[in-house]
Structure 1
Amino acid sequence: MRYLSTRGDAPRVLADAALRAGVAPDGGLYMPEALPRFSPADFSDTPDLPGLAARLLAPFFAGTPIHGAMADICADAFNFPCPRVRPDRAGTAPDILELFHGPTGAFKDFGARFLFRAFSALGQSSDRGTTVLVATSGDTGGAVGCAAEGVAGTRAVILFPAGRISAFQEHQLCCWDTPVEAARIEGDFDACQALVKAAFADPDLSRRHNLTSANSISIGRFLPQMTYWARAALDVYAETGEAPGLIIPTGNLGNAFAAVLARACGLPIGPIVLATNANTTLADWFRSGRYQGRPSIATLANAMDVGAPSNFERLSALKDAQIEDVLAIDDASIKSRIKASFDTSDYIACPHTATALEAWHRLDPAIRDARRWIIGATAHPGKFADTVEPVVGRPVGLPPALRTVLDRPVRCHDIAADKAALANLLAVTVSATR
């Protein structure tokens, strides 16, 4: 399996090279040159997620050391539950795929844990080790920090926007031990993402620190995210004989693109609907056919506060990457849906999950009732207690793994949103870890 750049001006590479590089030399994102084809029968003897993941992902890493280690990587990375629940049993109410039972309470745990175990299987590519540089709008950084802590030969540098994430999220980003460093950036998520891209585009800086990415621009992030959509779709298909529809909260389009790619590989996935917040870049593109990135705005669903989603390049590059609808949900509707969901079923949704629930309610009834739908629940509501608790009128408890985060001390760097400041941070922190 070789990988091409979405911009078409970079050599074909195997998965290990694509993983280490993060971004292609021409600034594009790596895409598989050809897709494997599966049928539901190919997974009849893999009832659990790790077994399915090992089979689904193996062709994407053929010819690399990761391929031989795939079963162990998946067994270790996906060692937490991923339940599909149906709190509202009335009529055609949707299933909710809870993706937040990993160690940092967000779906990003799947990709981050796979990624760092894949790096471990590859070994160090130089005496300098590897620096994983990541921009986060809230949850990615926590998952990366947790996955990276204690991994030999790999450090993580996490960039997050000042004042644009919840108090719990910021604590979770800044509580990890060396070799994990967190930097609060004067700017929004798009400024953080632009810094990461600028660092990769600087050959000297990238080479000096052996940079790679843990954002969904990395193949090591979005490929493993295919697995839980595949598992849920196969299970519903077995129950109903029909491919379910998916409603996916999305910001940078990594989670959504993973579902699109799984469907393109033959998994029984029906229509895919995207739910965004008040950052309407994708909704406007869907309505007009014209894509135009813009500055992001702050919302209650802050992990989706992305005005220029990087993975749009991949979506555009994949033939027949059909999206059935994109619905933008504002903050007032997020709050209303959190309350309505709790009032009718006692289910407490985080703000991001609420965008998908609201999107389902906005579907044409004929479309909504025609099949089973699966809602992606992307984060534990306790991470957004300041938003959720006043709406539902009761405390939202944290699971044990998240409670222990609050007992950890925090440390953080504050830097400006420019490449010189980032270069200085990389130099200072790499000296401190040696």
Structure 2
Amino acid sequence: MMFVSTRGGTPPVTLSQALRLGAAPGGGLFMPSEIPRHESTRFAAGRPLAQFAADWLRPFFDGDPLAADLDAICAEAFTFPVPLVAALGGDSSLRALELFHGPTGAFKDFGARFLLACFDRLAGDEPLTVLAATSGDTGGAVGCAAEGRRSARAVILYPKDRVSPFQERQLTCWGDNVAAVEVDGDFDACQAMVKAAFADPRLSASHRLTSANSINLGRLLPQVAYCAHAAFEAAALNTGNRPGFIIPSGNLGHGFALLLARAMGAPVGPVVLATNANRTLLDWCQTGRYQPRPSVATLANAMDVGNPSNFERVAALGDGAAEVAVELAHDEAIRHRIAADYRDSGYVWCPHSAIAAEAWRRLAGPARDERLWVAAATAHPFKFAEIVEPLIGRALEPSSALAAIAGRPTARQRIAPHLADLAALLEQQRVAA
């Protein structure tokens, strides 16, 4: 299997090369040169996720040096449960795919652990510099996955005043090989700096830069696997009918991963991308034109993205594979859905997952009732306690992993949103190391 840039113009590369480079030369994103197809009869519900993931992802690793390690990589990444929960009661057609049982309480744990396990096998004698922009949860997951590894040091950029208090603690609490950097700008400014760094050949080579954002295909492959696994599980519950999926969408990596799983043969029915007030995807769905916008701040801060990078990958899938609906929920709807569903069922959504639940409520009755719908529950609600607790009228309990973070010391650095500032910081980090 070889991988090509969404923008063309560069030779195909191996999977190991694509993971090591992060982004393609010229600013494109790596895609498989062809979409592998699985016979659904080879996959059945009830298989352990790590085993399922290794088999589902094997075509991507075909012929690559990492192929021999795929089973071990999956065993390292998929070590916590991913339950399908009848959040609103057994009579409801909605199932919450709880993706927040990992060490940092967010779905990003899968991709970060998978990618760092790959880097352990690719880095060689000198550590890689993992450069990541985060709108909330990516940075915490990458910091946790990178902490203590000799294969990588992590530099995490996050937007000033645009993450929750707990998210900021989780971004800034890791060990000496993880640097948290507060940027005087929004997520799109952080992401633009990361892309500019990769586009600078001298800077990229000097620091052995690689990415842990969803621009790196290695972050998305484990999401492809658990989406496919959930589809088979939900289809079995629904007597074989293809389940619908609702994915809270920011930088669109999660949505792309689901669409790729569907293109590979997973039993995925209709797909709804659920967004906050950042309406770039809704405008595209309604007009057919993709026009980035400045991002706006919302309660669902990890989705505050005005120019989602992975749109290039979605577009590269082609019209049939990329067929989706888009639903937008403003902050008032997020608040209402958290409060109403807790009152009616006792289930607690985080602000991002609440957008998926709201999108399900807005489905026309026949469409909502004819199949099971899987809503990606992307983060533990405790991470947004200052938003959720007033809406449900009680205190939230952290998971044991999240509780442990409260006692860690924190440290951060601040820079302006300019490549020169980032380059200077990278040099300081290398000298300090």
Provide the TM-score with structure 2 as the length reference: 0.98
Establish whether residue 289 from structure 1 lines up as the match of residue 273 from structure 2.
no
Question: What code does the residue aligned with 1:212 have?
Answer: T
**Contact 1:3/1:18 (CA < 8 Å) preserved in 2?**
yes
Hey, what does 1:404 align to over in structure 2? 404
Question: Given residue 423 of structure 2, which amino acid in structure 1 is its aligned partner?
Answer: A
**1:264 aligned residue:** 263
In 2, Cα distance between equivalents of 1:322 and 1:366: 23
How many Å separate the matches in 2 of 1:18 and 1:47?
A: 29
**CA-CA distance at 1:322 after TM superposition:** 2.8
- Quote the residue 2:364 is aligned against: 364
The C-alpha deviation readout for 1:73-113, integer Å capped at 9, x for no partner, is 11111101111100322644300000000000000000000
Residue type matched to 1:338 in 2?
I
Equivalent runs, 1:32-431 vs 2, <5 Å: 32-44=32-44, 47-89=47-89, 91-124=91-124, 128-239=126-237, 240-319=239-318, 320-431=320-431
The alignment's C-alpha RMSD in Å is 1.1
Q: Residue in 1 aligned with 2:10? A: 10
CA offsets, 1:26-56, max 9 Å, x none? 2100000012111222123871100000001
1:311 alignment partner AA: N
Identical-pair percentage:
55
Structure 2: distance between partners of 1:48 and 1:342: 31
Q: Which amino acid aligns with 1:302?
A: N
Distance in 1, Cα, partners of 2:398 & 2:89: 25
Counterparts of 2:424 and 2:298, CA distance in 1: 31
Give the counterpart letter for 2:87 in structure 1. Answer: P
Contact 2:119–2:151 (CA under 8 A) maintained in structure 1 = no
Contact kept? 1:5, 1:28, Cα under 8 Å: yes
**C-alpha distance in structure 2 between counterparts of 1:324 and 1:68, whole Å:** 36
Conserved 8 A contact 2:3-2:32: yes
* Secondary structure of residue in 2 paired with 1:63: coil
Post-superposition CA distance 1:168-223 (Å, at most 9, x none): 00000000002111100000000000000000011100010011100001010011
Amino acid at match of 1:413: Q
- Please give the secondary structure, in 2, of the residue aligned with 1:371: coil
What is the alpha-carbon distance in structure 2 between the residues aligned to residue 313 and residue 236 of structure 1? 29
Instruction: Give 3-state SS (helix, strand or coil) of 1:375's partner.
Output: strand
Instruction: Give the secondary structure class of the aligned counterpart of 1:69.
Output: helix
Structure 1 residue 323 displacement after superposition: 3.1
Residue identity in the other structure for 2:118: A
Letter in 2 for 1:393: G
Checking the alignment, whether the CA contact within 8 Å between 2:20 and 2:122 is kept in structure 1 is no
Distance 1:193 1:357 in 2: 28
Q: Which amino acid aligns with 1:196?
A: V
User: Equivalent residue of 2:357, what SS?
Assistant: helix
Q: Compute the TM-score of the two structures, normalised by the length of structure 1.
A: 0.98
Give the gaps of 5 or more residues in structure 2. Answer: none
Tell me how far apart the structure 2 counterparts of residues 401 and 172 of structure 1 sit (CA, whole Å). 11
Specify the code of the residue in structure 1 equivalent to 2:305.
V
Tell me by how many angstroms 1:336 deviates: 0.0
- Distance in 1 of aligned mates of 2:93 and 2:163: 31
SS class of match (1:79): coil
**What is the SS of the residue equivalent to 1:282?**
helix
**Cα deviation per residue 1:120-177 (whole Å; 9 max; x = unaligned)?**
12242xx542101000000000000000001113111000000000000000000000
Instruction: Say whether the 8 Å CA contact 1:46–1:52 is kept in structure 2.
Output: no
CA offsets 1:3-44 (integer angstroms, 9 cap, x no match): 010001111000000000011112100000012111222123
Unaligned 5+ segments in structure 1 are none
Structure 1 residue ranges (4+ consecutive) displaced by more than 6 angstroms after TM superposition: none
Task: Check whether the contact 2:4–2:32 (CA below 8 A) recurs between aligned residues.
Answer: yes
Aligned residues: 431
